[in-house]
Amino acid sequence: MEKDIFKEEDLKGLKIPEHVAVIMDGNGRWAEAKGEPRTYGHTVGSEVVEHMVEVASDLGIKYFTVYAFSTENWKRSEGEVSVLFSLFSVYLKKLIEKGRKNNVRCKIIGDKTALDDELNKVIDELEESTKDNTGLTFIIAINYGGRDEITRALRTIAGEVAKGNTDLSDITEDLVSEHLDTGGIPDPDLLIRTGGEQRISNFLLWQCAYSEFYYCDTCWPDFDRNELIKAVVKYNKRDRRFGGVK
Ligand code: FPP
């Protein structure tokens, strides 16, 4: 278990972002640096996800989103993809019970049509059984791409226009937001990317319009409570103007 650098008193007065989203990068490199296969990094990474959901909840974060598999990740080797999906299956099944116990509401975003029936069944059960929980909302992006999400939303809206149910003048930013997978969820306040790279990689493109970005060199399997608090401390130093002037 990590050594706490931050004490309770350090957290006093700290503004906790309502929604934190994470690009969990560096699993493969972390494992390779230890002479292990890349998939070992994903296995340890999934344990870190489990721990960080509890940490996020303890800190008072209301929405915690993780990027688990992108629409582009299918380009990886069959072996790596297969290990990742086994981890999702095991983890999501476990979350059904854990979500209930810890009052966590779970939601999966992304194009679920490409996922197999068994995983879809687990997802339905997880979302249904946790939907009335009032604590942290934990969002997992699987087969998710920001461009794909916007394209799917446009298709739905265009279909409604074609049927005469929606007028062109009804298409507002709010209407587009409602049609995204994240409809009803506030935009991320803080986007964290681990693993040293500084790019958005097709994650929450619409939703991150005014998010604060935080990058760290720590690879996801080494990410912990201290790292999250470091990001929140940095977030507290940012001056969010949303395009205005203060
Ligand atoms: C990016 O690191 C990480 C992924 C593509 C997978 C993320 C998955 C997990 C953390 C584990 C499972 C998640 C859940 C929700 C159970 P990378 O492998 O691309 O890192 P690299 O840049 O070092 O190659």
| Residuewise pLDDT in 10s, the chain (246 residues) | 566 678 778 888 999 999 999 999 999 999 999 999 999 999 999 999 999 999 999 999 999 999 999 999 999 999 999 999 999 999 999 999 999 999 999 999 999 999 999 999 999 999 999 999 999 999 999 999 999 999 999 999 999 999 999 999 999 999 999 999 999 999 999 999 999 999 999 999 999 999 999 999 999 999 999 999 999 999 999 988 888 887
Sheet (strand 137-144) strand order = 105-109, 137-144, 63-70, 19-23, 190-193, 212-215
Pocket test for ligand 1, best of 22, 24, 67, 95 (most atoms within 8 A of CB): 24
Contacts of 167 (CB under 8 A, 6+ apart): 161
Q: Which SS3 state, helix, strand or coil, does residue 81 take?
A: helix
Q: Which SS3 state, helix, strand or coil, does residue 20 take?
A: strand
Quickly count: other Cβ atoms within 10 Å of residue 123's Cβ: 21
Instruction: Give the number of the atom of ligand 1 that is nearest the alpha carbon of residue 219.
Output: 23
pTM over 0.85: yes
Which residues have a catalytic role annotated? 25, 73
Looking at ligand 1, which residue's alpha carbon is closest to its atom 13? 46
User: May I ask the CATH architecture of the domain 17-145+188-236?
Assistant: 3-Layer(aba) Sandwich (3.40)
How far is residue 192's CA from residue 184's CA, in Å, rounded to a whole number? 21
Looking at ligand 1, which residue's alpha carbon is closest to its atom 14? 46
